Amino acid sequence: MTFYKSFPITKDKYPSWEEISLSDLEEEEIEKKSKEENIVLLKECIEDANKIVQEKNLKFFQSDIIQLALALFEKRASHIVYWKENKCREKFDHKFKK
């Protein structure tokens, strides 16, 4: 499924909107990079959750650590859309030489 993002071009009083899309290859590359980074990120989240449990002298239950790690991961890993929007912004800026 092709990813699209619209950006305003303000030459007059009312902006016109330019729609920028990613090619299938660009989108695949971003998703692949995101997947690789998310694996690293999840491992870091598990380590961070472990440290939190130890620092706070909490009882060690693997399920609790995984739940804490997943909460951290969900927050940190929600950036795939950001990366796609950022790539569209780069294409838009290049197209309109900003």
Query: What are 70-97's pLDDT values in tens digits?
Result: 888 887 777 778 888 999 999 999 988 7
Query: What are 33-48's pLDDT values in tens digits?
Result: 888 888 888 888 888 8
CA atoms within 13 A on the CB side of 47: 6
Contacts of 15 (CB under 8 A, 6+ apart): 8, 9
Domain that holds residue 30: 22-96
Whether residue 73 lies inside any domain: the answer is yes
- Separation between Cα atoms, residue 10 and residue 17, nearest integer Å: 9
Whether residue 14 lies inside any domain: the answer is no
User: What's the structural domain count of the chain?
Assistant: 1
Whether residue 15 lies inside any domain: the answer is no
Whether residue 13 lies inside any domain: the answer is no
Whether residue 38 lies inside any domain: the answer is yes
Whether residue 46 lies inside any domain: the answer is yes
What is the reported pTM?
Answer: 0.62
Whether residue 64 lies inside any domain: the answer is yes
